[in-house]
Amino acid sequence: MTTGQDWRGVAAEEVDELPERVGILLRARSRRLLRSLLRPYKRGLWVAAALVLAQNAATMAGPWLIGVGIDTGIPALVDGDWTPLLLVVGALLSCAAADGVLRTVFLIRAGRIGQAVLLDLRRRVFDHVQRLSPAFHERYTSGKVIARLTSDVDALNDLLDEGLDGLVTALLSVVSIGVVLVLLDLPLALVVLATFGPLWLLARWFRRRSYAAYRRTREANSSLIVQFVESLAGIRAVQAFRREPRNAAIFAELNQDVRQANATSFRLLALFVPGVAILGTLATVIVLFYGGHRVLDGDLKVGVLTAFLLYLRRFFDPLQDIAMFYNSFQSASAALEKLSGVLEERSELAEPADPTPLPAARGDVAFRAVRFGYRDSVVLPRLDLAVPAGQTVALVGATGAGKTTIARLLARFYDPRSGQVTLDGVDLRQLPDADLRRAVVLVTQENFLFSGSVADNIAFGRPGASRAEVVAAARAIGADEFIQALPEGYDTDVRKRGGRLSAGQRQLVAFARAFLADPAVLILDEATSSLDVPSERLVQRALRTILAERTSLIIAHRLSTVEIADRVLVLEAGRIVEDGTPAELVGGEGRFAGLHRAWRDSLV
Amino acid sequence: MSGDQRSAYRSLWRLRSYARPYRALFAVMTVAALASELAPAAIPLIAQRVVDDAIATGDRGALLPLAGLALALGVLEALAVMVRRWVMTHSALGVEADVRQDLYGHLQRLPIAFHDRWQTGQLLSRATDDLGTVRQFIGFGLVFLVVNTTVCVVVGVLLAFSYWPLALFVLAATVPLVVAVRRFELRYSRVARRAQDLTGELTTNVEEAAGGIRTITSFGRQHLVLHRYLAEARRLRDAQLVKIRVLAYFWALLEVVPQLVLTVVTLGGAIAVANGALSLGGLVAFVSLLLLLQWPVASLGWLLASAQEAETAAERIYEVLDTEAAVTDRPDVRPLAAGTGRLRLEGVGFRYPGTDRDVLHGIDLDIAPGETVALVGATGSGKTTLTALIPRLYDVTAGRVTLDGVDVRDVALAELRRAVATAFEEPTLFSVSARENLTLGRPDATDAEVAEALRVAQAEFVHDLPWGLDTRLGEQGLTLSGGQRQRLALARAVLGRPRVLVLDDPLSALDIHTEALVERALRDILRDTTALVVAHRASTVLLADRVALLAGGTLVAVGTHSELLAGVPAYRDLLAQESDLEEVAP
């Protein structure tokens, strides 16, 4: 069953095909990233390279020493002289010991560097991703973030694993043996050097094709991960609506994409590596034939030709190692390109270069001529609003009137297109992130709980809070009772016990978390929607004390929440159409009065 | 799980059923690998002949065929390499794709209770990292393990023929190697497993940070979360370093032992030659043969490492595949009786697996065809759990649920879930097109059906999205408001007119105006659809014909809204807001 790609839907941000010029820029960017990752370990890498060389010397010495043993040791032994043989044996033993020690030290050192680089890369990407705006995450999706931080990072791991020892030995062999070849016999060496032309062409072909192939691999992988993650995250809906077969069909397609992409790059390698080998064989055969003739002509000594042939093998074998390394490098480059892409992503909510610190905000909030919209729509044409410190403001209005947008702007999830949002007179864009987040907290319906205990989740509002403070916060908003009733009370693991907190209970935990954070400005966006009436009543009672000395913005469809507000704003199409105390508005003849009547009627 | 069983490569061996369709290809790969190992060995022999025969005898004519032979061998080697790699793209990648598809399919079938327990990150790392490890092993490691073992045996036999006393010594030298291999396998499988588990943990960590980004941003807790992630990443690094160390010592041993053997052979051989027990040529031949063993023995290091890693990876994969889908079709499924949706709960009880407390017990409820019953109860009283029992997201642990007289566990899952549609309290949206989000399991839904569902749920805003129904909704549809998302979830549930509707607080995020519209539209549907509606508000309760009050894990009262309001104080406390309101109102 083919599904086509219709299910993906259309979004504005997609750029699939890249022009060649951009491709070059991207490659340069990913190389820059690799260099900057390796820079701190330059010395370590040199040491590791030296270790490989030393170890290789120790290994190579073996056959030579045996030759010496046979040539000089045996005749001496026949004469009854053990010395040369024992010397050789001693040298062989020390070579073996050196080999073992150097190998171990190298592997451990190189491993340490590789792991340090990976850790550094993980830290960079994770830290950066977290600082990007909610708008970025909405567009990018968590599955892709996961793909970047798992399978793309692993591609670099492969390079580091594959790499260093093979590459160093190979490069050294190629260079030194190349020199030896030239010294042995120039015409024959020229024959060998002539293969470098086709070799270069082959490498160029491979580079171009494999780069494209690995890019595809990365993309296919990340689509697969997105599908995997999303279908498991939404498994309830998947099963309840029998989406399994449809999902399986989509997954099969993505899975085949990954397989195809991998197959393409493997096939390229399947041509490239033997290609290099064939060139080596060609050179050998020509040398054999041409050299043989020259020996017969008396231009060349037999010994030279023999030596040349033996060295030639050692010249082309390492070239294959280099080819393999190059392949891992190409794969890692494609991954690094994706990673550097994320790293280059500038947060639309960048920290100011020259921030205005606001360590203890009072909570004066103002929107000045704020204009905002998503994509090409305009949600808030021009909003002017001043909320003095300590005031509790309720936002009321139909879906799409812009309530949530106002909440998000105040929490600086987005920046206004024009105008400014200020806290204590300071533009939010001028505030250091830490100060802003300490002062302003947004609680939404989406009550994300992190793995860990209930207490940990509440303490998320103020890391380092004592158990007593956590319990006090829970008690203040009326969550203590249900938490105590959990199997392990505050220590109950919210994930392991399987999302078993109900939506309402999660809202209570989120409330306690916000309460513990103790911000100057608290924004509640539909934060009580899943509570039953008594719980909501408890929360409201708590809110009256909690909100007394802080600025707050409350969005709730239930007007009962609105009644604890000092001031009600009725929004329509992004404009404030009514503004007053609840009593004033209820008593008046405006929209709110109408809404209120409708709501009273609905209560029965 | 003892180490002994692990070292037996049990889980890897189980994967053979996946390899079977490709077995001819695996044979080709092995032969090709063998050829590409042996062909180069012949090249020095040819060079030898060139020098000895052609040049020594001055026979120019012999040069060409010898060069041709060298060329042929070179081409053969290259071809063998190409064939092996090319074939691998079919075989190993094929196995990988097949296992992954099965794993995904299986995960989708596993019950919600499984997914409650397992984090997506751990599962993802099994479907990607672990499977990749397995693929690498069966694509490369396995083939070379076979080839190198063959080379070792062949060379060993040749050694025995060439000079048996020394060969005996070489054989004896393998004893410490075998011991080392056993020890290595035990230790390495432990550390490899640990590194894989930590990789899964780290993935889970990433998954959480990505999913909770809005909460993290709102509280400005990036540092805290980064700190946790790095702690986990360092644990993984440390585990990897332990792994590297174990491998490094083993590998060094594999390099050193052959060298030591070589040394002793040189010594012994020299003595033998001096005594005339062995010819010089014989010694040279023996040593040359021995040198052939160097690479196959040294490569055992990474080959066995990759085998162990593949084994532990396969083990992790089978941990998932072996989990049985507890909620599944019974062997003797019955078709759903034609009916209009009589839903009965008879003595229903439920307890989450691994706990010792009933969440629900002794629930009896009879919902007549077309009737709507509201389910009311305090936060955390088990309302959502109860609704999940009807489409069998969980199976009851006591009593039974019947639909039109048939126990829901006797009905095929697909059929049951076609008959019962749920609108969840938290609308799950996927980052696919709006249409796909609506139709989910019914890709064949017609445009008219979709339009009708959107109308009923008052979700016609979808038509105003930039690309209408084709617009890709962002992850979790976050650019939509809570009310919009809820209406999409509602539209999804009513699409195709199911026999039974389960609505979990379907109006909680709607503003008064929309709520009234949705309510009106819902009434039409609920008039002739059996429905169970979780309600927190009186306004939602009013959609229902009767109300069931859930408290202490069981139904304590069933009746009409006004009956309960009049006769059940607990109900009044839960729903009546007036008293409190008067007190709050200024």
Say if residue A43's pLDDT is above 80. yes
Q: What percent of chain A has pLDDT over 90?
A: 24
How large is the average pLDDT for residues B242-265? 87
Give tens-digit pLDDT for B439-472.
887 888 899 999 999 988 888 888 888 888 898 8
Confidence of residue B1 (pLDDT cuts 50, 70, 90): very low
Please indicate if any CB of chain B lies within 8 Å of the CB of A438: yes
**Test the A interface: residue of B86, B206, B309, B379 with most A CBs within 10 Å:** B379
The DSSP symbol for B514 reads: H
- Which listed CATH number (3.40.50.12780, 1.20.1560.10, 3.40.50.450, 3.10.20.30) goes with A17-344? 1.20.1560.10
Q: What is the pLDDT of residue A477?
A: 85
Task: Name the closest residue on chain A to residue B237, using Cα atoms.
Answer: A115
Average per-residue pLDDT for chain A: 85
The answer to whether residue B62 scores a pLDDT higher than 80 is: no
Do B585 and A603 count as a contact with CB atoms less than 8 A apart? Answer: no
pLDDT of res. A20: 58
> A-chain residues within 8 Å CB-CB of B415?
none
Please write the tens of the pLDDT for every residue from A377-398.
788 999 999 999 999 999 988 7
Question: What number of residues does chain A have?
Answer: 604
pLDDT computed for residue A416 by the predictor: 92
How many other CB atoms are there within 10 angstroms of residue B569's CB atom?
A: 9
Check whether domain A365-603 has CATH 3.40.50.300, yes or no:
yes
- What pLDDT sits at residue B343? 94
Residue among A73, A85, A248 minimizing CB distance to B108: A248
**Nearest chain A Cα distance for residue B11, angstroms:** 23
Confidence bin at B477 (pLDDT 50/70/90) = low
Per-residue pLDDT tens digits for A283-323: 888 888 888 888 888 888 877 887 787 778 778 878 888 88
Question: How far apart, in whole angstroms, are the C-alpha atoms of residue B510 and residue A399?
Answer: 8
Q: How confident is the model at residue B44 (pLDDT cuts 50, 70, 90)?
A: low
Smallest Cβ–Cβ distance between A96 and the set B212, B237, B259 belongs to B259
pLDDT greater at residue B277 or residue A348: B277
Mean pLDDT of A13-27: 60
Distance in Å, alpha carbon of A186 to nearest chain B alpha carbon: 20
Q: What is the pLDDT of residue B476?
A: 60
Beta strands in B444-565 (DSSP E): 500-504, 530-535, 546-551, 554-559
Contact A352/A374 with Cβ under 8 angstroms?
no
Residue B182 has φ and ψ, to the nearest 5°, of: -60, -45
Q: Does A501 touch chain B (CB under 8 A)?
A: yes
Give which of B266, B275, B309 to mutate to test A binding, by max A Cβ within 10 Å: B266
Tens digit of pLDDT for each residue in B310-363?
A: 999 999 999 999 998 888 888 888 888 887 889 999 999 999 887 778 889 999
Of A584 and B585, the one with more pLDDT = A584
Residues in chain B within 8 Å Cβ distance of A399:
461, 481, 483-484, 510-511, 514
CA dist B405 and B401 (Å) reads: 9
What pLDDT does A60 receive? Answer: 75
pTM of the prediction? 0.87
Q: How confident is the model at residue A2 (pLDDT cuts 50, 70, 90)?
A: very low
Residue type, B309: E
Among B80, B68, B60, CA closest to A286 = B68
Helix orientation angle between A42-68 and A153-184, rounded to the nearest 10 degrees: 50
Q: How many alpha carbons fall within 13 Å on the CB side of residue A404?
A: 22
Output the average pLDDT for chain B: 86
CA distance B225 to chain A (A): 9
Nearest residue to B376 (alpha-carbon basis) of B391, B387, B390: B387
CA count, 13 A, side-chain hemisphere, B292: 24
Which sequence spans correspond to the domains of chain A? Answer: 17-344, 365-603
CA end-to-end span of chain B: 68
Write down the pLDDT at residue A16: 45
- Are B89 and A267 in contact (CB < 8 Å)? yes
CB distance from A25 to chain B under 8 Å? no
Confidence at residue A40, expressed as pLDDT on a 0 to 100 scale: 93
Q: What is the pLDDT of residue A547?
A: 83
Kindly state the average pLDDT of the residues A549-558: 85
CB contact under 8 A, A146 and B207: yes
Two tokens at B132? 């990749």
For chain B, the helix, strand and coil percentages under 3-state DSSP, each to the nearest 5: 70, 10, 20
Q: How far is CA B214 from the centre of its chain?
A: 26
**Contact status of B586 with chain A (Cβ, < 8 Å):** yes
Q: Which pLDDT does position B84 carry in this prediction?
A: 92
Residues contacting residue B471 through CB under 8 Å, at least 6 positions apart: A9, A10, A11, B433, B434, B462, B465
Judge whether residue A75 has pLDDT over 90.
no
In B, minimum Cα distance to A104 occurs at: B248
CB contact under 8 A, B441 and A246: yes
A567-572/A392-397 β-pairing: parallel
Whether B275 contacts chain A with CB within 8 A:
no
- Residue B53 per-residue DSSP state: I
State how far the Cα of B195 lies from the Cα of B272, in Å rounded to an integer.
50
- Say whether pLDDT at A5 is over 70: no
Confidence of residue A12 (pLDDT cuts 50, 70, 90): low
In A313-456 the beta strands, taken as DSSP E runs, fall at: 365-372, 380-387, 392-397, 418-423, 426-427, 440-443
In this prediction, residue A120 carries a pLDDT of 94
Label residue A604 by pLDDT band (50, 70, 90): low
Return d(Cα A481, Cα A477) in angstroms, integer.
10
Amino acid residing at B551: A
Q: Which is higher by pLDDT, B372 or B298?
A: B372
pLDDT at B400: 95
Residue A562 — very low, low, confident or very high, per pLDDT cuts 50/70/90? confident
Residue of A nearest to B64 (CA): A289
Closest CA to B442 of B469, B423, B414, B463: B414
Among A52-56, A565-569, A589-593, the least confident range: A589-593
Bridge partners of A366?
A: A386, A422
| Residue B115 · residue B1 · CB < 8 Å | no
Q: What pLDDT sits at residue B178?
A: 87
- Determine contact, residues A16/B443, Cβ cutoff 8 Å: no
Buried b (16+ CB within 10 A) or exposed e, A403-440: bbbbbbbbbbbbbbeebbbbbbebbbbbbbbebbbbbb
What value does the mean pLDDT take over residues B103-130? 90
Which among A6, A116, A241 has the least Cβ separation from residue B433? A6
Instruction: Dump pLDDT digits (tens) for B263-274.
Output: 888 888 888 888
CATH match of B110-197+246-326 with 1.20.1560.10? yes
- Interface size A-B, in CB pairs within 8 Å, comes to 553
Residue B292: what residue type? L
| pLDDT above 50: residue B581 | no
Among partner residues B64, B108, B426, which is closest to A231 by beta-carbon distance? B108
Of B320, B364, B327, B256, the closest CA to residue B125 belongs to: B320
A241 touches B: beta carbon within 8 Å: yes
Residue B51, pLDDT above cutoff 90:
no
CB A337 within 8 A of CB A29: yes
User: A74 at the B interface (CB within 8 A)?
Assistant: yes
pLDDT, greater one: B580 or B224: B224
Judge whether residue A548 has pLDDT over 60. yes
pLDDT tens by residue, B514-570: 788 888 888 888 888 999 999 888 878 888 999 999 998 899 999 998 899 888 888
CATH of B343-426+497-584, picked from 3.50.50.60, 2.30.40.10, 3.40.50.300, 3.40.190.10, is 3.40.50.300
| Lowest mean per-residue pLDDT among A16-25, B209-218, B547-556, B576-585 | B576-585
CA distance A421 to A386: 10
Nearest of A221, A311, A319, A317 to residue A265 by alpha carbon = A221
Q: B379-399: per-residue pLDDT in tens?
A: 888 888 999 999 999 999 999
Q: Are A300 and A287 in contact (CB under 8 A)?
A: no
Predicted confidence at residue B475, as pLDDT, reads 65
> What does the pLDDT read at residue A21?
63
Distance between CA atoms of residues A113 and A106, nearest Å: 11
- Interface ipTM above 0.95: no
Say if residue A125's pLDDT is above 90. yes
Q: What is the pLDDT of residue A17?
A: 46
Write the residue in A123, A239, A530 that is nearest to B393 by C-beta: A239
Q: Which residues contact B129 (CB under 8 A, 6 or more apart)?
A: A150, A151, A154, B196, B199, B200, B203, B313
Does residue B528 sit at the A interface (CB-CB below 8 Å)? no
CA distance A295 to B517: 100
Q: How far apart are CA A408 and CA A553, in angstroms?
A: 11
Shortest CA distance to A490 belongs to which of A506, A470, A473?
Answer: A470
Between chains, do A238 and B108 touch, taking CB under 8 Å as contact? Answer: yes
B582 has pLDDT over 60:
no
